[in-house]
Each structure stands twice: as C-alpha cells, then as structure tokens.
Amino acid sequence: MKPLLLFVCLLSAFFSFGQHEDRYAEDVQSIDAIIEALYGSISGEKGQERDWDRFRNLFIPEARLIPSGVWEGKFSYRIMTPEDYIQSSGKWLVENGFFETEIHRVQEVYGSLAHVWTTYESRRSASDEKPFMRGINSIQLMHDGQRWWIVQVYWLGETAENPLPKEYLGNQ
C-alpha cells in the first residue's frame, strides 16, 4: 500500500509541475511576452494580490534583481533573488498599488543572448495621469532552445540630478 501511495503522490507532483509550466507558457515564448509578463506580474491596484508563481516562472533559478541608486548621498545597490524581491516588495506592492509600464525599449539579440534596455514609468493606480517614478531596467535574457529566461534585472530610477536622456523616452 505504501509504494502505491508514494507513486500516486509523485505522479500528482509531476503533473502539477507540468500544469504550472503550461499555465505560463505563452509568457516565455518571445522577448516581448516575457517583458510584458515581468511588468504585468508586479503591477496591480491597491489590495490586489500578485501572481508570484507567474513572476517566479520568468527567471532562471540563479537570477538576480539589482536595484541601484543614490541613498543618503551615496551610491548603493542591493543584490536579490526573485524570492528576496517577493519578500521585500510583495506586501508593499499590494498595500500601495503599483503599475509599471514600458515606455521605450532598446533591444539587442545575438543567438541565445538578449539584452533589453527598457524605460519604465511607475504609477500607484492604472488611472493615475502622471507617474510617481521613472527609470531604466537593464534586463539580460537567455533562450535555452525551448523558452526565454530572465537572467538579471538591474535598474536605476530617474532623479533630478540624473534625468532620463531623451533618446530613452520614445515619443514622449
């Protein structure tokens, strides 16, 4: 009886994993799709829970997220895993509302390697007229022959001392 129970549990886990991947398969089939899924997975109105399984599915297991900027007059950065990001920002995103949208992109691809330099605007609600923050995400991706993966997201927010260059603002 125990071997049969173990077999059923393993089979169930196997099929659950496959369904999880299938559920988000379209998110990782193109660079456009994975960038849209990245922005979409962190965005939502105040009180709206995020789909963190969707977010996790975008990254290789060793991926890094690196916010950078000047705090208290000194340049600083923080290196996080996707799980660290969820733990440090997830509650805040839900409590405050947060929408990040792409307004311009520079993209280069060579074989399985891609780099996306994407300018973003952040709002508390989708209906907000003006963003409260803008910046650039530098996103490195790889294609494993089956799908795209995010390897790293390194970002810097705009400041009065460091405004976004016009060439990265698109048609704004």
What are 153-164's pLDDT values in tens digits? 999 999 999 999
What are 25-64's pLDDT values in tens digits? 999 999 999 999 999 999 999 999 999 999 999 999 999 9
Query: Could you tell me the two tokens for 39?
Result: 């922005």
Q: How far apart are CA 74 and CA 97, in angstroms?
A: 28
Question: pTM, whole model, 2 decimals?
Answer: 0.86
DSSP code of 163? P
Per residue in 69-89, is it b (16+ CB within 10 Å) or e — as a string?
A: beeeeeeeeeebebeebbeeb
In CATH, the architecture of 30-168 is Roll (3.10)
SS percent in the chain: helix, strand, coil, step 5:
35, 35, 25
Q: What is the residue extent of each domain of the chain?
A: 30-168
